[in-house]
Amino acid sequence: MGLFETKIEVKDVNAFGKPKLPPGQTPTSKFPVLTYGETQKIRREDWSLAVWGLVEEEQRWTWDDFMKLPQTKIRADFHCVTHWSRFDDEWEGVLFRDLIRQIKVKPEAKFVLQHAYGGYTTNLPLQWMIEEDVILAHTFNGEPLPEEHGGPVRVFTPRRYAWKGAKWIRGFEFLAKDRPGFWEMNGYSNTADPWKEERFW
């Protein structure tokens, strides 16, 4: 893996046509843990996922229910606002766009606030959540997602900086108006596009 660090060249292009290495990022084969506060320790049997807000009906999935939803593997790069990127990991789980096929979102819903166990939140437009391969991942490179990286289930946003994905996800709130999440209230960009270096406001 050490040599891998030299393999990413600026001219390389990623799966959606953007430079593999976004501006201001440095490749790494490490996977640092960045958590504000404590690692949440949630057993699979205690975990559940809920949707509320602008939905026709609130709904909840247990681990077993969740594992019956369509499962997808994506290979993608991880970009942290603190200037490191890691490449070509395999993330397995449920795409957000497949999850919301299971529910009826009200037409006025335009934004989604992710809520994590422990209180972390982060926000994105509903359209981006659907279009940008946002995944609720439980498996990372073929192994259960480690607790410190958000297991049993985290959100991963391959087209945004990583703070846009809540580790230990517990629910999605559907909103008509945007509502800033934890880091968005504390100085981080609302839109978080790594190719535009949208880091802070």
Ligand X SMILES: Nc1nc2c(c(=O)[nH]1)N[C@H]1C(S)=C(S)[C@@H](COP(=O)(O)O)O[C@H]1N2
Give residues in contact with Mo ion (CB under 5 A). 34, 81, 163
| Contact status: 24 vs ligand X (CB under 6 A) | no
3-state secondary structure 92-141: EEEEHHHHHHHCCECCCCCEEEEEECCCCEEEEEHHHHHHCCCEEEEEEC
| Contact status: 79 vs ligand X (CB under 6 A) | no
Number of residues forming the site for ligand X (CB under 6 A): 18
CA distance 184 to 86: 23
Give me the least distance between CB of 87 and Mo ion, in Å please. Answer: 17
Pick between residue 21 and residue 105 the one whose CB is nearest to ligand X. 21
**Tokens 């981080």 — which residue?**
188
Could you tell which of Mo ion, ligand X, none binds residue 32, using a CB distance below 5 to 8 A set by kind?
ligand X
CA distance 77 to 44: 26
**Tokens 């960045």 — which residue?**
34
The binder of ligand X chosen from 33, 67, 176, 185 (CB under 6 A) = 33
| Contact status: 120 vs ligand X (CB under 6 A) | yes
* Span from 12-20, 87-95, 128-136, 157-165 in contact with ligand X (CB under 6 A): 157-165
Pick between residue 105 and residue 158 the one whose CB is nearest to ligand X. 158
| Contact status: 118 vs ligand X (CB under 6 A) | yes
Tokens at 120, concatenated: 């972390």
Pick between residue 28 and residue 105 the one whose CB is nearest to ligand X. 28
Tokens at 53, concatenated: 């807000």
Q: How many Cα atoms occupy the beta-carbon half-sphere of 34 within 13 Å? A: 17
Taken as a whole, the chain contains a residue count of 201
| Contact status: 69 vs ligand X (CB under 6 A) | no
Which spans of this chain sit near ligand X (rule: CB under 6 A)? 32-36, 80, 116, 118, 120, 149-150, 162-163, 165-168, 183
